[in-house]
Amino acid sequence: MKPAPFRYHLPATLQEALELLAELGDDAKVLAGGQSLLPMLGYRLTAPAHLVDIGGLSELRGWELDEAGLRIRAMARQREVELDPDIGLRFPILHAAIAHVAHAQIRNRGTVCGSVAHADPAAELPATMVALGATMVLERSGGRREVPAADFFQFHFTTAIETGELLTEVRIPSPRSGSTGTFLEISHRKGDFALVGVAATVVADGDRVAAARIVCAGVAPTPFVAVAAEQAVVGRVLDDATLLVAQYCASEGMSPTDDFHAEGAYRRQVAGVLVRRSLDVIRSQQGALSA
Amino acid sequence: MSQVETTATRHVGTSMRRREDHRLLIGAGKFLDDLDFGACYEAAVLRSPYPSARIRSIAVERARQAPGVVAVFTAADLGPILQDLPPKVTHPSLNRQPRYPIAVDAVRYVGEPVAVAVASNRWLAEDALELIEVDYDLRPGVGSTASALAEGAPLVHEASDTNVAVHIVQQSGDPDAALRTAPHVLRDTFVITRGGGHSMEGRAVAARYDRAASQLTVWDATQTPHYVRHMLAALYGMTEDEIRLIAPADIGGGFGPKAQFYGEEALIPWIAMHLGATVKWIEDRWESFISSTMERSQTHRMEIGFDDDGRILVLKDVFEHDQGAYCVGLQVPTITMSTLPGPYKIPNIHSELIACYTNMVPTSSLRGAGRPQAVAATERMVDRIAEHLGLEPSEVRRRNLIQADEFPYAVGLRFRDGSPLTYDSGDYPALLDGALERIDVPAFRTEQAIARREGRFLGLGIGMFVEGSGLGPFEGARVRLTNAGRILVTLAASPQGQGYETVYAQLAADAIGVDIEHVEVRHGDTSTIPFGQGTFASRVTATAGPAVHEACLRLRAELLAAGAVALGVDPDDVTLGGSSVSVAWAPERTVTLQDLAAVSNMGRHGMSVDPRMPVAIEATAYFKPLRAVYTSGIYAAVVDVDVETGMVEVVRSVLGHDCGVVLNPMIVDGQMYGAFAHGIGNALYEEAAYDEDGQPLATSYLDYPLPTAMEVPRPELFHVVSPSPLNSLGVKGAGEGGLIPVPAAIANAVEDALRPFGGRVNRLPLTPARVLAAIQGTTRQ
Amino acid sequence: MPEDPATSSGGCEVIELSFVVNGEPVTLSSDVRVSLAEILRRDLRLTGTHLGCEHGSCGACTVIVDGLAVRSCLMLAAQAQGADVETVEGLARGDELDDLQAAFREHHALQCGFCTSGFLMSLTARLREGPVVSEFQAREALSGNICRCTGYVGLVDAVLSLAADSGKEPLK
Ligand SMILES: Cc1cc2nc3c(=O)[nH]c(=O)nc-3n(C[C@H](O)[C@H](O)[C@H](O)COP(=O)(O)OP(=O)(O)OC[C@H]3O[C@@H](n4cnc5c(N)ncnc54)[C@H](O)[C@@H]3O)c2cc1C
Ligand code: FES
Ligand code: FES
């Protein structure tokens, strides 16, 4: 389980990093926290000729939290974000989702952006980013573009990031007032990737749901937006009947495949259950919504 | 009988803190890969990526030229040691197929060694593996016993016309007649899938050859150093004395897989001799997933006949056992055969084994060794009897248990050591009572009923077992007065966390009558004790224990005799205490053990000693158990099942155990807790899944969930003590009992919780998906 | 004869590294594909840090880097450039065990001992954040490490005993 040989680059500035990525093209991989990349190198599942370590770039550390929202830069570690009380207050769903990612020792190194870029279909953060309506900022040498989370995840382990591009920032807009959210999951053990996870956000207007975003992890190659469940709750009071309707239509259009951990049928069913339960959590958090 | 009374018992039976802990806590443990071998090559092994294939050719030239590579070996370079490695336990009717240290012309499981690269370090050795080109001719693989036995199945060994490795039947009474006449008969099929040992340290071997001394030294993280030395001597055509096998002082867990003999153990020392250099191979976790022996996969078809009161009249079980690609040993399935009857009086028994070759890693002993499977069939059926008759499962057990006054109890079958299956001692009703004192069944039923009305599903499950332990043929211990006047106890067996350095010091100090500070324990080095067997099957306490005891009593007699001569009094007039011998009626007249060593062990060059003076004070004893001793136990669990997601939470756990006399309660309890955690893994989490062709699907801990502190609850322990009459200490094995009943009891508890749905959980582990499928009446494989 | 393993690593680019280990500055050259764990074990012969899985799951390799518990198997040595690294060898004062180590011994929190240093380092970092006072907290604090021998009972008891001893004051 030793990595194949590679060349190691530690650029000192973002500019330098982007130039390196442009120059090295497909032969290079970005090294952020290394918590997914290093195991893959160890198993020799991948053997890039070059690693570009972005750990030295001070411009990519930390995050910005203001009225507009939260901008998480590429080297912000999962655990720093998790432990920040202001982020927890403004984005409880993000806090809840990160707490499900592995263990503290891994979150101490793993980055939020790395998890997003890695795009594991069973990972918590990609689904959470879709639920939060995040935007991915991609930079390349001499260029920059923004991709909405919903378009960013293309297939398992495949995103809109193109050769030469770096995900420099994940931008999460400030939640609308009256909005709340939660993240629930079923996994074999605490800290495992999700068998099924649900990231749900709801905006309340009085006692009714003005808008909802309900996204499932682990049920499709990319985060699955449970559109039918969203439609089932919008404009309604979150009473038990509404919750049940949301549960039963959550898996509409979802066709998870079987694997040795669980059949697709299991995932469909549990996704529905978690959708109902997350709405239940939301209505207990948001007094106005509890019918 | 017991001679422990020769001196006041001071250490045995107390929870002495462990001597090995200090070095481990400060990071100074001596695990194999922690040892400093100085200049040393490292080996990496190329492994088959296919479950079944013929090897057309292997091209190694590019690998041999790679940077840092000193040699690459394939079967073609290993002529002298391409010998069939014999199974550890065999049977006259075994369809024996050869197993070589490295694949010769075919591979039969993913992970089978195909070539070895030796380089100046592991990175370069792994680089070299990528340059080896193997031309495989793929064959269809066999990924389960069901497909092994299917009509027209591909043959795992083309030289055989069947995938059946062995077919054995044992009977007592007239089971077929009893099944015809029993008032009630129930049948069902129970499956336990594969699981691994997962010692945190993998396997490891290092070796060097000293030409001047004709001495091959092998370091091996093994549970059985003498067995490995014996295998190597036979393989290399060397005498035992030419091979020194050292199991390092610290071994990072064993649990069975490290008690087997593997191809790598044959290859690495030979390569070291061949290269005239030190070579080591450290199994990494990926290799461990695909090449360390596993266990558990069995399919039981059980029929049980009983009367209106729930008394068992007959038990018939026909089970398929997955032997893997080669037969490393038949211990596991033969133990299963004799574990089926458990603690119950069953007049008619039919126990039938069909072991199959499959294209998966060979199976062999793993903590519990065949017993959890047997218990997970019989104990499930006992609950079905209760369900059928509307009785409490504990009541059905009570009606069938062997009583405390019925020992020795002859079951009517044979144990795997060849001896009649005769339980030596026990008190099974006391175990059941102990559990029921702690879990009040009527109160639980009320709670369960209330919870159900609230949509919560609780269940209670019990599992009981009887475990043959303390197996032969023998175990040895050597005790010596060192020149420094200390007592050195040398064991043949090597521990993997069982605290031998502490427990055997306790035993020796008491038997000899010296202060424990003067006693040292060493183990696992064949150069210090010529014969031994090793640590497996919870056997050491019950075999090495009596051996240490016997040797210490002899040493004590010699020390007293020497002391008497030195003090000029009669042997009856001296006593031994602290670290000296003194005159009983004049305690100020004393001689230290160190002074005795100076006379008895070193002597004065060329001078005669007093003819009455014992010289060379040491004693070696081997204990040969007459037959196995039988540990027993019970586990009762309360679970809470989330019927919407299939998640199972174990909310209450009571574990009762009877391993006879306990030498160090803290260490025995620790063994129980550890085994229990493994049982939780087998019950709910761990599955070494394979696809139909034999491709392994779980090769990392992301796919093979080992339980953490969040998953393993704290069991409430209790002990029943039925000393064994078969050894001087009254001890029995304690390493596995905490595991054996756990999968069965949890499955019973889950099924109890699901009673309103009639859900059946017949396949372990009980993953959330399987539990949900049971609720919905669909079966998940 | 083979090279001395203390100076060998990989077969690709070599870089100069300096960092602090248990308070001592070290400087060495390392092949870039070598993990921090391997540097500690091979080059510095701090073999108390063990490798149980090399993919981040078992925790045997846990060390503290710049105050945070991390997997040293999932960190290139190059990523430790300039860092402050603490390993199990730095816990005891000479031959005297620190409180956590002593609690491990007292509560039989180890059997084979292979996992032990990882648990010690995870817990050392965790206890600096604040005391662990409930069984649930203890289990959570332990959950990033795997022990196959103990069933975790002794580990839980060891951690909780510290809270009891210290009158629930945070450690260090
Ligand atoms: C034992 C274990 C358990 C885990 N459990 C979970 C879990 O339960 N849930 C979960 O979600 N994750 C889990 N993870 C993965 C963890 O969250 C990783 O940290 C995360 O997936 C990757 O982040 P990283 O910073 O470590 O990225 P790296 O490992 O450095 O990189 C991952 C991939 O993303 C690319 N990449 C990283 N950053 C960028 C960037 N800024 N721009 C472009 N490409 C980039 C890399 O090139 C690489 O291909 C686990 C990991 C381990 C070892
Ligand atoms: S060796 Fe690093 S986590 Fe297992
Ligand atoms: S003590 Fe052996 S793995 Fe923990």
Distance C101 CA to ligand 3 centre (A): 15
Size of interface A-B (CB pairs under 8 A): 72
Q: Is any Cβ of chain C less than 8 angstroms from the Cβ of B651?
A: no
Q: What is the DSSP string of B717-754?
A: EEE-----TTSTT-B---SSTTTTTHHHHHHHHHHHHT
Comparing B32-139+203-251+257-291 with B371-381+391-462+628-775, is the CATH topology the same? no
CATH code at A238? 3.30.390.50
Same domain, C85 and C22: yes
Can you give the pLDDT at residue A288? 67
Estimate the share of chain B in helix, then strand, then coil, as percent rounded to the nearest 5: 30, 25, 40
Q: What is the mean pLDDT of residues B763-771?
A: 97
Contacts of A192 in chain B (CB under 8 A): 702, 705
Can you give the pLDDT at residue C6? 37
Residue of B645, B710, B778 lying closest to A190 (CB–CB):
B710
CATH code at C69? 3.10.20.30
CB–CB contact C89 B27 (8 Å)? yes
Structure tokens at B756: 């309103």
CATH code at A38? 3.30.43.10
Contacts of C122 in chain A (CB under 8 A): 104-105
Q: Which residue has the higher pLDDT, B615 or C107?
A: C107
Beta-sheet strand order (sheet of C14-21): C24-31, C14-21, C84-86, C62-65, C68-71
Which residue of chain B comes nearest to C155, CA vs CA?
Answer: B709
Closest-CA distance, C131 to chain B, in angstroms, reads: 18
Same domain, C136 and C157: yes
Can you give the pLDDT at residue B780? 53
CATH 3.30.1330.30 is right for the domain spanning B371-381+391-462+628-775: no
Binned at pLDDT 50, 70 and 90, residue C166 comes out as: low
SS3 A37: helix
Domain ranges of chain B: 21-29+472-623, 32-139+203-251+257-291, 371-381+391-462+628-775
Q: Is any Cβ of chain C less than 8 angstroms from the Cβ of A9?
A: no
Domain boundary among C90, C114, C140: C90
pLDDT digits 0-9 by tens, C113-125: 999 999 999 999 9
Distance C51 CA to ligand 2 centre (A): 5
B partners (3+ CB pairs within 8 A) are A, C
Per the DSSP assignment, residues forming a β-bridge with A181 are: A201
Task: Pick from B21, B25, B200 the residue to mutate for probing ligand 3's pocket: most ligand atoms within 8 Å of its CB.
Answer: B200
pLDDT digits 0-9 by tens, B101-146: 999 999 999 999 999 999 999 999 999 999 999 999 999 999 999 9
Q: What is the mean pLDDT of residues B542-547?
A: 85
Q: What is the mean pLDDT of residues C90-117?
A: 96
Residue nearest to atom 3 of ligand 2 (CA): C56
To which H or E segment does residue B82 belong? none
Total count of domains within chain C: 2
DSSP strand pairing (B475-481 vs B618-623)? antiparallel
Domain boundary among A120, A151, A173: A173
Distance A114 CA to ligand 1 centre (A): 5
Can you give the pLDDT at residue C170? 38
Residue nearest to atom 37 of ligand 1 (CA): A114
Contacts of C11 in chain A (CB under 8 A): 5
Instruction: Tell me if A37 CB under 6 Å of ligand 1.
Output: yes
* A1 in a structural domain: no
CATH code at C143? 1.10.150.120
* A168 in a structural domain: yes
Asked if residue C2 has pLDDT above 60, the reply is: no
Same domain, C153 and C86: no
Q: What is the mean pLDDT of residues B245-271?
A: 96
Same domain, A73 and A168: yes
CATH code at A90? 3.30.465.10
Atom of ligand 1 nearest to the CA of A111: 25
Asked if residue B318 has pLDDT above 70, the reply is: yes
Can you give the pLDDT at residue A291? 53
Same domain, A153 and A204: no
Which residues contact ligand 2 via a Cβ below 6 A?
Answer: C 51-54, 56-61, 71, 73
Which residue of C14, C15, C18, C33 is the best one to mutate when testing the A interface, meaning the one whose CB has the most A CBs within 10 A?
C33
Range of the domain at A127: 58-173
Can you give the pLDDT at residue B729? 87
d(CA B143, CA B50): 12
Count of H-run helices and E-run strands, chain A: 12, 14
Same domain, A49 and A95: no
Mean per-residue pLDDT of chain A: 96
Binned at pLDDT 50, 70 and 90, residue B474 comes out as: confident
Binned at pLDDT 50, 70 and 90, residue C167 comes out as: low
In the numeric block, the tokens 């330098």 are attached to A16
Can you give the pLDDT at residue B600? 87
Asked if residue B342 has pLDDT above 50, the reply is: yes
Atom of ligand 1 nearest to the CA of A161: 43
Same domain, A63 and A49: no
pLDDT digits 0-9 by tens, B364-390: 999 999 999 999 999 999 999 999 999
Domain boundary among C34, C63, C90: C90
Q: What is the mean pLDDT of residues B556-568?
A: 94
C partners (3+ CB pairs within 8 A) are A, B
Can you give the pLDDT at residue B537? 62
Which residue of C32, C34, C119, C146 is the best one to mutate when testing the A interface, meaning the one whose CB has the most A CBs within 10 A?
C32
What one-character DSSP code corresponds to residue A111?
B
> Looking at the domain that runs over B32-139+203-251+257-291, which CATH code has it been given?
3.90.1170.50
Binned at pLDDT 50, 70 and 90, residue B5 comes out as: very low
Contacts of A273 in chain B (CB under 8 A): 644-645
Same domain, C83 and C103: no
Residue of B123, B768, B780 lying closest to A195 (CB–CB):
B768
- Domain spanning B21-29+472-623, CATH architecture: 2-Layer Sandwich (3.30)
Closest-CA distance, B251 to chain A, in angstroms, reads: 21
Can you give the pLDDT at residue C10? 55
Asked if residue C169 has pLDDT above 70, the reply is: no
Closest-CA distance, B458 to chain A, in angstroms, reads: 20
Contacts of B127 in chain A (CB under 8 A): 4-5
Closest-CA distance, C82 to chain B, in angstroms, reads: 24
Closest-CA distance, C94 to chain B, in angstroms, reads: 9
Can you give the pLDDT at residue C57? 97
Q: What is the mean pLDDT of residues B641-666?
A: 95
Residue of A4, A186, A261 lying closest to B647 (CB–CB):
A186
Same domain, C123 and C159: yes
pLDDT digits 0-9 by tens, B407-454: 999 999 887 767 789 999 999 999 999 999 999 999 999 999 999 999
CB–CB contact B123 A2 (8 Å)? yes
Atom of ligand 1 nearest to the CA of A191: 8
Same domain, A136 and A229: no
* C106 in a structural domain: yes
CB–CB contact C56 A190 (8 Å)? no
Mean per-residue pLDDT of chain B: 93
Half-sphere exposure of residue C123, counting CA atoms within 13 Å on the CB side? Answer: 34
pTM recorded for the entire structure: 0.96
> Are B555 and B510 within 8 A, CB to CB?
no
pLDDT digits 0-9 by tens, C13-27: 899 999 999 999 999
pLDDT digits 0-9 by tens, B518-530: 999 999 899 988 8
Range of the domain at C27: 14-90
Which residues contact ligand 3 via a Cβ below 6 A?
Answer: B 200, 253, 497; C 110-115, 147-150
CB–CB contact A273 B644 (8 Å)? yes
Domain boundary among C61, C90, C119: C90
Same domain, A109 and A164: yes
* A266 in a structural domain: yes
Q: What is the mean pLDDT of residues A274-291?
A: 86
Atom of ligand 3 nearest to the CA of C148: 3
Asked if residue C5 has pLDDT above 50, the reply is: no
Structure tokens at A200: 């749900």
Domain boundary among A173, A203, A234: A173
* C61 in a structural domain: yes
Q: Is any Cβ of chain B less than 8 angstroms from the Cβ of C146?
A: yes
Total count of domains within chain A: 3
Which residue of chain B comes nearest to C54, CA vs CA?
Answer: B285
Distance B182 CA to ligand 3 centre (A): 49
Dihedral angle, C-alpha A111, A114, A116, A120, nearest 10 °: -110
Binned at pLDDT 50, 70 and 90, residue B610 comes out as: confident
Same domain, A114 and A208: no
Asked if residue B680 has pLDDT above 80, the reply is: yes
Structure tokens at B607: 């001078």
d(CA A132, CA A179): 11
Contacts of B685 in chain A (CB under 8 A): 188-189
Residue of C8, C41, C145 lying closest to B121 (CB–CB):
C8
Can you give the pLDDT at residue B471? 78
Same domain, A214 and A276: yes
To which H or E segment does residue B367 belong? none
Closest-CA distance, C103 to chain B, in angstroms, reads: 10
Asked if residue C12 has pLDDT above 70, the reply is: yes
> Are B719 and B778 within 8 A, CB to CB?
no
Can you give the pLDDT at residue C171? 36
CB–CB contact C47 B33 (8 Å)? yes
Asked if residue B781 has pLDDT above 70, the reply is: no
Same domain, C153 and C114: yes
Contacts of C134 in chain B (CB under 8 A): none
* A2 in a structural domain: no
Q: What is the DSSP string of B309-354?
A: T--EEEEEEEEEEEEESS-S-SHHHHHHHHHTTTTB--SEEEEEEE
Binned at pLDDT 50, 70 and 90, residue B536 comes out as: low
Task: Pick from C112, C145, C152 the residue to mutate for probing ligand 3's pocket: most ligand atoms within 8 Å of its CB.
Answer: C112
d(CA B285, CA B289): 6
Please report which ligand is nearest the Cα atom of C145: 2
Distance C58 CA to ligand 1 centre (A): 17
Residue percentage of chain B with pLDDT more than 90? 83
Residue nearest to atom 34 of ligand 1 (CA): A118
Can you give the pLDDT at residue B7? 45
**What backbone phi and psi angles, to 5 degrees, belong to B543?**
-120, -55
Which residue of B645, B686, B695 is the best one to mutate when testing the A interface, meaning the one whose CB has the most A CBs within 10 A?
B645
Asked if residue B9 has pLDDT above 70, the reply is: no
Can you give the pLDDT at residue C7? 39
Atom of ligand 3 nearest to the CA of C110: 1
Asked if residue B16 has pLDDT above 50, the reply is: yes
Q: What is the mean pLDDT of residues B578-592?
A: 93
